[in-house]
Chain A
Amino acid sequence: MAEAMQELFGPAGVWITWILQCVAIVAPLIVSVAYLTYVERKVIGAMQMRKGPNVVGPLGLLQPFADAFKLLFKETIVPTGADRFVFFMAPMLTLLLALVAWAVIPFQEGWVVSNINVGMLYILAVSGLAIYGVMMAGWASNSRYAFLGSLRSAAQMISYEVSMGLIIISVILTAGSMNLTDIVLAQKGVWFGVIHFPMFVLFVISIMAETNRVPFDLPQSDAEIVAGFHVEYSAMGFALFYLGEYANMILMSGVCVVLFLGGWLPPLDMAPFTWIPGIVWFFLKMAVILFVYIQARATLPRYRYDQLMRLGWKVFLPLSLLWLVLTASVLFFTGLWPEYGA
């Protein structure tokens, strides 16, 4: 594609390609975020035997846009004593980080903006930086509730990142590469979600903690600290946090699909499954993970803070470490390890 564009536009073709690729990812992503909020309300409504949004537009389908416009036209309020620059940087950073990570996610073989060798590390790095959005927001708001929320959030995200990293190492060992396309292609025979089933479960729970979702939504637990780190935000700032949170959810489910559910590969390499294009499989699998996210929100109560830390450090960390050693030993002694050259 880049070559064709270069022929058409000369040297500027590369830049035009990049811009088009960015738009091709960001625009559908924003729409998906909008409709993820809609799906979330509909699913939770159904689970609680309500109807969910059903007034704006047919079946309430225009509800996300109504919300977006409402937030857009609200007044931006800056608390007194707030650090204005950091206060406005925080939501932007949150959304930005949720967007840039998509650069390395392969939607189908070759359908990736940047097919880098260290794709998995890049995702870890970007999701690690996501804490700053929360911490900056909590500190700059000059509010106790916000600050408490951001402190909790920082501790929580750091804790779960450790076990997430160990889980990812197990997968990388089995795949023999940190390139996300290679990780998917290594799952041609059997998905890593089957081989590493316990880690798959841990990973799904970890990404819930990493994105601050129920049952790990302590940073914004409404009952104790109002709304946590974004309590002082209104209008567009709040909307950006909201967008960032949901974009992060979608991103993490994408990562989960790539690591454990075989990315764009069909479940069985047989006729009726291979008729469906890979990208459809990718989105279907993501939808399944997102549904788990949402139904967990309607099912589970919030963790207490010490329980959350205990789960992260005393359960997840030893388990994933044990599994890592186990994986490495099995690969080593059976001689099944892949070629670690590329």
Chain B
Amino acid sequence: MTLAVDAVFYLFSIVCVVSALMVVVSRNPVHSVLWMITVFINGAGLFVLLNAEFLAMVLVIVYAGAVAILFTFVVMMLDLDFTGPALRSKQTLLVGLAVGAVLLGDLFVMLSEWSVSPKAEALRASPTPDLSTVSNTVALSRILYTDYIFLFQTAGLILLVAMVGAVLLTFRRQRHQRQDVSVQLARSKSETLKMNRVENGKGIS
């Protein structure tokens, strides 16, 4: 059985890496988004192999099912000329290389100077419950809603702020027409319909 698990692991990870590469390489942005969704789904597969089925499903629901949909939405609306020279010019290549080099440097600096505060270490050591008695959803929620409750709430607040911001950006007192459905539905036949008896050959003046 372990052989099968190994085989599945390599399948997921190879597909994952290859599609991650395709996200960057493919010319068409819509294809990039579709490859990214493949990455998410294969990542979820890897989570399942780690017995983290809750995380796997949440990854698919949140990222593949909601976030990537919005990406797709935007990218599909763009009228990009993705064969044009602008995307492949030497200038962008140089800028890209520079940004990449800086990020790589950052990564090295961080890894060499990384230290973990003892408090965080203590939190990490919160006992893992026996997974044969509790499902990992319950185990996760027990930690999330006790030790990490403030971090969890803060994350929620940040998302709320983002949402309020987005709503505010689109919410202006505009002069556009508003439709009040209840008013529309409350209209009666007498207000909208008038039956005329029309004599033959005369019509309505």
Contacts and interface: CB of A to CB of B under 8 A. Distances in A.
Interface of A: 83, 86, 116-118, 121-122, 124-125, 128-129, 131-132, 135-136, 139, 147, 151, 154, 158, 161, 178, 306-307, 310, 340-342
Chain B CB within 10 Å — which of A118, A154, A161, A310 has the most?
A: A118
Which 8 pairs between the two chains have the least Cβ-Cβ distance? A128-B65, A121-B57, A125-B60, A117-B135, A118-B53, A125-B61, A139-B76, A118-B57
A338 to B, nearest CB: 12
A314 to B, nearest CB: 9
A148 B73 CA distance: 11
B69 A131 contact: yes
Given A118-B54, A122-B57, A124-B61, A307 B137 contact: no
A178 B53 CA distance: 12
A181 B180 CA distance: 44
Given A135-B76, A147-B76, 12 more contacts: A86-B30, A121-B61, A122-B57, A125-B64, A128-B61, A131-B69, A132-B69, A132-B72, A135-B73, A178-B137, A310-B181, A340-B138
A161 B65 CA distance: 10
Contacts of B135: 117-118, 342
A178 B138 CA distance: 10
Given A136-B34, A158-B66, A116 B138 contact: no
A216 to B, nearest CB: 16
Interface of B: 28, 30-31, 34, 37, 41, 44, 53-54, 56-58, 60-61, 64-66, 69, 72-73, 76, 133-138, 179, 181
A86 B34 contact: yes
Contact of A128 (B54, B64, B137, B138): B64
Nearest to A342: B135
A128 B66 contact: yes
Contacts of A122: 57
Contacts of B133: 341
Nearest to A89: B34
A158 B69 contact: yes
17 contacts: A83-B28, A116-B53, A118-B57, A118-B137, A121-B58, A129-B41, A132-B34, A132-B69, A135-B72, A135-B73, A154-B69, A154-B73, A161-B66, A306-B179, A306-B181, A310-B181, A342-B135
Chain B CB within 10 Å — which of A125, A135, A161 has the most?
A: A125
Contacts of A121: 54, 57-58, 61
A342 B73 contact: no
Contacts of A307: 181
* Chain B contact surface mostly: helix
A151 B70 CA distance: 11
B178 to A, nearest CB: 10
B30 A139 contact: yes
A47 to B, nearest CB: 24
Nearest to B55: A118
A125 B30 CA distance: 21
B140 to A, nearest CB: 11
A162 to B, nearest CB: 9
A112 to B, nearest CB: 15
B91 to A, nearest CB: 29
A84 to B, nearest CB: 12
A132 B37 contact: yes
Contacts of B69: 131-132, 135, 154, 158
B179 A131 contact: no
Contacts of B61: 121, 124-125, 128
Contacts of B60: 125, 128-129
Chain A CB within 10 Å — which of B31, B53, B65, B137 has the most?
A: B65
Contact of B65 (A117, A129, A139, A310): A129
A161 B64 CA distance: 13
A18 B28 CA distance: 38
A317 to B, nearest CB: 13
Contacts of B65: 124-125, 128-129, 131, 161
B31 to A, nearest CB: 8
A154 B66 CA distance: 10
Nearest to B56: A118
Nearest to B68: A132
A287 B30 CA distance: 39
Contacts of A158: 66, 69
A117 B179 contact: no
